Amino acid sequence: MTCPCGSSIVGSDEDDLVVKTQAHLTESHPGMEYSRDEILFIAY
């Protein structure tokens, strides 16, 4: 998955991708939160 900021986020499975994406959002985009379903929708 590629974040609009240009960061590439790769997970070994869906759960890992969701965890890594949520961590990226917390670190790089405070205040932006997406649910598991939203992240997977964007990723696919």
3-state secondary structure the chain: CECCCCCECCCCCHHHHHHHHHHHHHHHCCCCCCCHHHHHHHHC
Q: Which domain holds residue 44?
A: 1-44
Domain count, the chain: 1
- pLDDT per residue as tens digits for the range 2-43: 999 999 999 999 999 999 999 999 999 999 999 999 999 999
Report pLDDT for 21: 98
pTM greater than 0.85: yes
